[in-house]
Amino acid sequence: MSAAAQKKYDTGISDTEIKIGNIMPYSGPASAYGIIGKTMSAYMRMINDNGGVNGRKINSFPMTTPTARRKRSSRPAGWSRATRCF
């Protein structure tokens, strides 16, 4: 197969799946905004139930935001590398 004919996707995308990371405040003082992330997950389930996006299923990786005691910048970067999503 020639190099031009090979499919190359960004991290988190394949022929069958799209991985999406979701960082929301599911706990703590701002947890009222977590409903946004829950709504997004429900919408992605509906898309998957109807065949996905061009036949690809959406795989969501929800994560709560770190508390004020932790460094915000280090945790999401490692998390996105570990889950191989964008």
Confidence band of 68 (pLDDT split at 50, 70, 90): very low
Confidence band of 47 (pLDDT split at 50, 70, 90): very high
Indicate the pTM of the whole model. 0.67
According to the model, what pLDDT value does residue 69 have?
44
According to the model, what pLDDT value does residue 10 have?
85
Question: Which whole number is the average pLDDT over 55-63?
Answer: 89
Confidence band of 8 (pLDDT split at 50, 70, 90): confident
Q: Is the pLDDT of residue 66 over 50?
A: yes
Name beta bridge partners: 76: none
Q: What is the DSSP string of the chain?
A: --TTTS----TTB-SSEEEEEEEE--SSTTGGGHHHHHHHHHHHHHHHHTT-BTTBEEEEEEEEPPPTTS-TTHHHHHHHHHHT--
